[in-house]
Amino acid sequence: MSVTDEELRRALLEAIAAVAPESRGASIPGDVDVREHLDLDSMDFLRVLVGLKERLGVDVPEVDAQHLVTLDGAVAYLRGRLAP
């Protein structure tokens, strides 16, 4: 599956917005801790991971969640998971 970084970022933001609707349209810098920035608790973040699986078909093990702390880190991680 070939996806651009922008498509990955969009899928991630959609998964976040499904859990935290107030984040829709918000400016989230690529290098900040998304959980702190949006005040997401651990259950919210797990729901974001489930949303990523639904949108991208990528299973993110809970142990790898630390790679998705920032938008930039999440995009890099997802790109690696989707690489052939």
Residue with tokens 């599956």: 1
pLDDT in tens, the chain (84 residues): 578 999 999 999 999 999 999 888 778 899 999 999 999 999 999 999 999 999 999 999 888 989 999 999 999 999 999 987
Domains identified in the chain and CATH numbers: 5-82 (1.10.1200.10)
